[in-house]
Amino acid sequence: MADDTSTFTAAPPLFADAPSGVSFKKLRKRLVRGALKAIDDYKMVDRRAVDAGEAKRPKWLVCLSGGKDSYGLLAVLLDLQWQGALPVDLVACNLDQGQPGFPKHVLPDWLDTVGVRYRIETQDTYSIVTEKVPEGRTFCAMCSRLRRGILYRIAREEGCDAIVLGHHRDDALETFM
Tell me whether residue 149 is in a domain: yes
CATH of the domain at 147: 3.40.50.620
Tell me whether residue 30 is in a domain: no
Tell me whether residue 29 is in a domain: no
Instruction: Indicate yes or no: pTM above 0.95.
Output: no
Domain holding 79, by residue range, is 57-176
Tell me whether residue 69 is in a domain: yes
Q: Please count the structural domains in the chain.
A: 1
Instruction: For residues 135 and 119, give the distance between their C-alpha atoms in angstroms, rounded to a whole number.
Output: 33
List per-residue pLDDT tens for the chain, 177 residues long. 444 444 556 778 888 888 888 999 999 999 999 999 999 999 999 999 999 999 999 999 999 988 889 999 999 999 999 999 999 999 999 999 877 787 888 999 999 999 999 999 999 888 888 898 888 888 888 888 999 999 999 999 999 999 999 876 665 545 444
Instruction: For residues 105 and 102, give the distance between their C-alpha atoms in angstroms, rounded to a whole number.
Output: 9
Tell me whether residue 7 is in a domain: no
Tell me whether residue 27 is in a domain: no
Instruction: For residues 1 and 39, give the distance between their C-alpha atoms in angstroms, rounded to a whole number.
Output: 13
Instruction: For residues 18 and 109, give the distance between their C-alpha atoms in angstroms, rounded to a whole number.
Output: 18
